[in-house]
C-alpha cells in the first residue's frame, strides 16, 4: 500500500498549469533499489518454485519507475567447496524497457536444486548477497529485498557453519541474526513471501529484523510477511506485499481462466499506473482497452498518456501508463485450445499526486477569535477530489502556526457536520481558536495522510487583525454549474475608514492557468467609502467538462501580504448544449402552438363536416288541406345516412296521397347549413334556404318542411310502428277520393312513371302512411 504524509504548507512548488496536463505533467516516482531472493532448496516442491518464479517476475514488471535497479538471486546452500549458496540469475540492471523484456529469460533459470547441488536453505548467505548488491547501487532510493522462501533455515549440510549438524544449526541461527543486523544498518527492508509449508513465525522475524523505515509512518508501509497458500492466492499476496513495500495503491487482483474479461478502476488521482497480467501460459493473448474504447498496444502514445508494454511472449505481461485516463480499464484474455487451464491473475497498482487549496475565515482573525479552515483537494490536473472511493483513503488535518504561540492541530472533516457544508464533496472543514497570545503573522498548513499519494505545499499565510481594521472586505461566492465560456457572479463588499485611498487586489489562486479568469482584478476605495462591487469568475471556452476549484483572495495592496478575505469556489462545467437544447423552451412553446393549431384545425374540419352532415334531418311532405288554408303532413323521412347531401323523390298518382321516397338519383336534394338552415334543390330551383321548422315549395302545391331530430331515433321493432320525436300527424277522416289506389297498387311518381322506374333498388315504403324511413341504414 502506498502511503505518504504530506505537508500542504510553506515553501512548496507552484501549481502546475492546465496546459501541462499529460505525461509531462505527471509526477514521476523516484527509483528504488530492488532485489528478489528466490529459495531453490529441496524443502520446496517443483510447483512451489514455479510459483516463486511467477512472483519474482510480477515484482519486477510491477515496478513503476524505469530508473529502478533490480537483482534476482537464486539460493539454497553450499554443501561442498565446489558449490555456491547463491546464484545471480539476473545481474543488477536498470529496469528500462529492454531489460523488462529480457526478464522472463533470466527468471526462467530459477529451479529447484537436486541432489549434489546444495539443497539446504542458507538465509545468511542470501541476505548478505542481497544487501551487498543493494548497497553498492548508485541509486539514492529505498532498498527493498523480497525473500521468497518457506522460512525454514537449513545449513545442516554446509561445512562453513561448523563440523557437525548441531553446531551448524546454532551457528546458522547466530549468523542469521547478524545478517539481519547488517540489513538494518544498510537500511535494507526485508519483505518475506512464504511458499510451500512456510514457518510464519520465522518469516515475521525476518521482516522485523530488517530496516523498519518506510515511505510513511503507517502500519501498512512497514515491512511485513505474506504467506502464499496456493496459486490462486499468489497474485493477491505478491501485489499486496509489493504495493506496501513500494508505496503504491493496489486493489485485490482478479482471477479466472481464459477466455476471460476483467475490469479495473484507475483513480483520477493516479499519475502513474501499472497493469500486471500473470497469464500462467505464454500462449495467452492480452488485449487492454482504455476508458472510451481505445485499444492500447503500447506501441504509441496519445495526447493524454504514454505507455510501455512488456512481456507479450512471457508468462507475465505488464502495461506501464504515465498519466493514465481515469475510469474503468478492460483486460481481455484469450487462448488457443489446450492453453486454457491455467489460472490467470490481473491487477493494477498506481501512485498519484494531489494539489491543495486552503483558506481561513476570517482571513485575518483577531486573537482569541474562532476561525474556520477549509481545504480543497485537487487531482494533479486540477479536478476536485469527490469520488467516495478516493476520499475513503484520505485523512486530512491542518496545523495553525504563528508568532506568539506554539503550533496547534486543526481537525478537518468532510462529513457535512458543524461547519462542513456538504459531506463527501472533497472539501474538508474545521475550526480553530486563534490563541490570545498570537501576534504578527499566521500560517495555516494542511496535513494529508494518504495512501499512495504525494502533494504540493501551498499554505495560507495571513496575519492577526487589529482591534479596528481601517479596511475591510467580504466576498460573496457561490458554487455553480455552468458551460464553457460562461461566468458565475460574485460580490465584493469593501469599506475604507482610513484617511487615504486604497486599492484592493482580487486574485484567483490554486487554479489551472486558463481554466478560470477573475474580473475585475482591482477595486479602488476612496477614504470613507463603502462599495459593493460585482465581479465574475469566467470559465475558459476550451475547458473540458468536469469540476474546477480555485481560491479567490482579496489583498490590501497598501499593506503587503495582508489578506482581507478568501474563499474556495467549486464550479461544475457541463458540455455546451447544442442549438436545440439551448432553445428548448422556445421549441417546446412552438411545438405546443403547432399542436394546438393542428388540433384546432382538425376540430374545425370535423365540426364543419358534422355541421354539414345531413344525418338527423327530418323531411315532412305537406299537401294543401281541403279548404286550401292549411297543410297537412302526408309523408315523413328522417335521414339516417351520412353525407353532405340527401336525395329523394316524390311518388304521386292514382288519387293517393303523395309520398317521399329515398332515391339516390332523385330530382330533389337537401343539404344542411351550419346556421340551422337547410338548402333545398328542386328541378325548378338550384337552392332554396329553409330554416329548421320552416316550409318551402317542393313541386306544384306540395311543400317540404325541414326539421332536425333532437335525439337518437330508434328503429321500429318488427310489426311495430315508427316513433318519431315529434307528434304523429293525425290521419284525415275524410272519405276516400274516387280513383284512390287500392293497397298494393303502384302509384306514379311526380314527374316519373313510378318510384320503382326511377330507382329500382328503392325499398317498398308504407302505402298511404305519413311515416317513412331511410333505407340506407
So what's the pLDDT on residue 304? 81
636 and 744 in a common domain:
yes
Residue 199 placed within a domain: no
Mean pLDDT of 184-203: 92
So what's the pLDDT on residue 217? 66
Residue 642 placed within a domain: yes
In contact, 312 and 271? CB cutoff 8 Å: no
So what's the pLDDT on residue 188? 93
DSSP 28: P
Q: What is the CATH number of the domain that holds 424?
A: 2.60.40
DSSP 233: H
The residue with greater pLDDT, 577 or 615, is 615
Cα(206)–Cα(191) distance, rounded to whole angstroms?
Answer: 8
Domain span including residue 276: 251-352
Closest of 431, 240, 255, 318 to residue 60, by C-alpha: 318
Cα(414)–Cα(393) distance, rounded to whole angstroms?
Answer: 13
The residue with greater pLDDT, 757 or 34, is 34
So what's the pLDDT on residue 24? 39
754 and 725 in a common domain:
yes
Mean pLDDT of 270-278: 91
So what's the pLDDT on residue 740? 41
The residue with greater pLDDT, 721 or 381, is 381
Looking at 83-219, list the stretches that DSSP marks H as alpha helix, in order from N- to C-terminal side.
Answer: 97-107, 123-135, 165-185, 200-209
So what's the pLDDT on residue 58? 86
pLDDT above 60 (res 204): yes
pLDDT above 90 (res 329): yes
So what's the pLDDT on residue 609? 76
628 and 704 in a common domain:
yes
Non-local CB neighbours of 763 within 8 Å, separated by 6+ positions: 775
Specify the range with the lowest mean pLDDT, choosing from 129-133, 604-608, 619-623. Answer: 604-608
Closest of 622, 631, 697, 696 to residue 660, by C-alpha: 622
So what's the pLDDT on residue 451? 67
637 and 594 in a common domain:
no
734 and 624 in a common domain:
yes
pLDDT above 80 (res 31): yes
347 and 428 in a common domain:
no
Residue 480 placed within a domain: no
Residue 222 placed within a domain: no
So what's the pLDDT on residue 577? 78
State pLDDT tens for residues 729-740: 444 444 444 444
709 and 654 in a common domain:
yes
Q: How many domains does the chain have?
A: 4
So what's the pLDDT on residue 758? 35
State pLDDT tens for residues 461-478: 988 887 667 888 899 887
So what's the pLDDT on residue 289? 95
pLDDT above 70 (res 766): no
State pLDDT tens for residues 653-704: 777 889 999 988 888 999 887 666 788 999 888 888 888 888 899 888 889 9
So what's the pLDDT on residue 457? 67
Residue 746 placed within a domain: yes
Q: What is the CATH number of the domain that holds 261?
A: 2.60.120.380
Closest of 440, 441, 384, 449 to residue 411, by C-alpha: 449
363 and 337 in a common domain:
no
698 and 600 in a common domain:
no
749 and 627 in a common domain:
yes
State pLDDT tens for residues 394-435: 788 899 999 999 999 999 988 888 788 888 888 899 999 999
628 and 749 in a common domain:
yes
424 and 327 in a common domain:
no
Residue 48 placed within a domain: no
Cα(566)–Cα(364) distance, rounded to whole angstroms?
Answer: 10
What global pTM score does this model have? 0.65
In contact, 234 and 228? CB cutoff 8 Å: yes
Closest of 629, 643, 620, 628 to residue 729, by C-alpha: 620
Cα(388)–Cα(701) distance, rounded to whole angstroms?
Answer: 99
So what's the pLDDT on residue 6? 37
- Please, is 212 exposed, middle or buried when counting C-beta atoms within 10 Å of its C-beta (0-12, 13-18, 19+)? middle
Residue 372 placed within a domain: yes
Residue 28 placed within a domain: no
Amino acid at each position: 500500500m502506498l502511503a505518504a504524509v504530506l505537508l500542504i504548507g510553506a515553501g512548496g512548488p507552484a501549481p502546475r498549469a492546465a496546459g501541462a496536463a499529460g505525461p509531462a505533467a505527471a509526477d514521476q516516482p523516484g527509483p528504488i533499489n530492488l532485489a528478489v531472493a528466490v529459495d531453490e532448496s529441496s524443502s520446496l516442491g517443483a510447483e512451489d518454485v514455479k510459483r516463486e518464479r511467477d512472483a519474482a517476475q510480477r515484482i519486477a514488471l510491477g515496478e513503476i519507475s524505469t530508473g529502478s535497479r533490480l537483482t534476482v538471486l537464486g539460493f539454497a546452500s553450499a554443501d561442498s567447496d565446489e558449490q555456491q549458496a547463491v546464484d545471480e540469475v539476473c545481474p543488477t540492471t536498470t529496469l528500462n524497457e529492454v531489460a523488462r523484456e529480457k526478464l522472463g529469460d533470466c527468471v526462467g533459470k530459477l529451479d529447484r536444486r537436486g541432489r549434489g547441488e546444495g539443497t539446504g536453505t542458507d538465509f545468511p548467505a542470501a541476505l548478505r548477497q542481497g544487501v551487498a548488491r543493494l548497497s553498492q547501487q548508485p541509486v539514492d532510493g529505498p532498498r527493498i529485498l523480497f525473500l521468497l522462501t518457506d522460512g525454514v533455515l537449513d545449513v545442516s549440510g554446509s561445512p562453513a557453519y561448523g563440523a557437525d549438524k548441531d553446531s551448524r544449526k546454532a551457528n546458522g541461527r547466530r549468523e542469521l541474526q547478524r545478517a539481519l543486523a547488517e540489513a538494518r544498518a544498510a537500511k535494507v527492508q526485508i519483505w518475506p513471501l512464504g511458499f510451500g509449508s512456510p514457518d510464519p513465525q520465522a518469516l515475521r522475524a525476518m521482516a522485523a529484523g530488517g530496516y523498519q523505515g518506510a515511505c510513511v509512518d503507517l502500519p501498512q508501509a512497514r515491512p511485513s510477511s505474506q504467506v502464499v497458500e496456493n496459486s490462486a492466492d499468489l497474485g493477491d499476496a505478491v501485489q499486496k506485499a509489493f504495493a506496501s513495500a513500494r508505496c503504491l495503491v493496489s486493489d485485490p487482483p482478479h482471477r479466472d481462466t481464459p477466455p476471460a474479461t476483467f475490469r479495473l478502476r484507475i483513480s483520477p488521482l493516479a499519475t502513474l499506473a501499472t497493469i500486471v497480467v500473470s497469464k500462467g501460459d505464454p500462449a495467452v493473448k492480452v488485449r487492454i482497452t482504455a476508458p472510451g474504447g481505445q485499444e492500447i498496444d503500447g506501441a504509441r502514445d496519445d495526447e493524454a498518456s504514454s505507455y510501455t508494454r512488456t512481456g507479450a511472449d512471457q508468462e507475465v505481461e505488464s502495461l506501464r501508463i504515465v498519466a493514465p485516463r481515469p475510469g474503468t480499464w478492460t483486460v481481455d484474455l484469450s487462448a488457443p485450445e489446450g492453453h486454457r487451464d491455467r489460472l490467470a491473475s490481473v491487477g493494477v497498482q498506481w501512485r498519484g499526486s494531489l494539489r491543495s487549496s486552503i483558506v481561513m475565515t476570517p482571513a485575518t482573525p483577531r486573537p482569541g477569535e474562532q476561525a474556520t479552515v477549509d481545504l480543497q483537494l485537487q487531482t494533479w490536473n486540477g479536478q476536485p477530489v469527490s469520488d467516495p472511493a478516493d476520499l475513503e483513503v484520505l485523512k486530512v488535518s491542518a496545523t495553525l502556526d504563528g508568532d506568539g504561540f506554539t503550533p496547534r492541530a486543526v481537525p478537518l472533516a468532510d462529513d457535512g457536520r458543524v461547519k462542513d457544508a456538504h459531506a463527501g464533496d472533497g472539501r474538508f472543514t474545521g475550526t480553530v481558536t486563534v490563541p490570545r497570545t498570537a501576534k504578527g503573522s499566521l500560517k495555516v498548513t494542511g496535513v494529508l495522510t494518504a495512501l499512495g499519494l504525494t502533494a504540493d505545499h501551498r499554505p495560507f499565510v495571513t496575519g492577526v487583525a487589529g482591534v479596528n481594521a481601517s479596511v475591510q472586505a467580504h466576498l460573496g461566492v457561490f458554487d455553480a454549474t455552468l458551460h464553457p465560456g460562461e461566468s458565475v457572479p460574485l460580490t465584493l463588499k469593501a469599506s475604507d475608514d482610513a484617511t487615504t485611498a486604497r486599492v484592493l487586489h482580487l486574485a484567483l489562486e490554486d487554479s489551472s492557468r486558463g481554466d478560470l479568469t477573475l474580473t475585475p482584478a482591482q477595486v479602488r476605495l476612496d477614504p470613507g467609502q463603502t462599495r459593493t462591487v460585482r465581479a465574475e469568475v469566467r470559465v475558459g471556452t476550451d475547458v473540458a467538462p468536469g469540476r474546477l476549484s480555485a481560491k479567490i483572495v482579496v489583498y490590501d495592496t497598501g499593506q503587503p501580504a495582508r489578506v482581507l478575505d478568501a474563499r474556495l469556489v467549486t464550479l461544475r462545467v457541463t458540455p455546451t448544449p447544442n442549438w436545440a437544447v439551448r432553445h428548448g423552451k422556445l421549441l417546446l412553446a412552438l411545438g405546443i402552438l403547432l399542436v394546438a393549431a393542428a388540433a384546432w384545425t382538425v376540430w374545425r374540419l370535423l365540426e364543419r363536416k358534422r355541421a354539414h352532415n345531413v344525418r338527423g334531418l327530418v323531411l315532412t311532405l305537406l299537401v294543401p288541406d281541403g279548404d286550401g288554408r292549411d297543410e297537412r303532413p302526408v309523408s315523413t323521412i328522417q335521414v339516417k345516412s351520412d353525407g353532405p347531401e340527401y336525395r329523394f323523390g316524390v311518388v304521386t298518382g292514382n288519387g293517393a296521397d303523395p309520398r317521399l321516397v329515398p332515391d339516390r338519383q332523385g330530382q330533389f336534394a337537401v343539404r344542411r347549413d351550419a346556421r340551422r338552415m337547410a338548402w333545398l334543390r328542386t328541378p325548378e330551383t338550384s337552392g332554396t334556404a329553409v330554416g329548421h321548422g320552416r316550409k318551402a315549395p317542393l313541386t306544384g302545391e306540395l311543400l317540404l318542411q325541414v326539421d332536425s331530430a333532437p335525439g337518437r331515433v330508434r328503429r321500429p321493432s318488427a310489426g311495430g310502428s315508427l316513433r318519431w320525436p315529434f307528434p304523429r300527424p293525425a290521419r284525415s277522416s275524410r272519405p276516400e277520393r274516387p280513383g284512390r289506389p287500392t293497397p298494393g297498387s303502384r302509384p306514379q311518381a311526380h314527374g316519373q312513371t313510378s318510384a320503382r322506374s326511377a330507382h329500382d333498388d328503392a325499398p317498398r315504403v308504407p302505402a298511404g302512411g305519413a311515416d317513412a324511413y331511410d333505407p340506407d341504414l
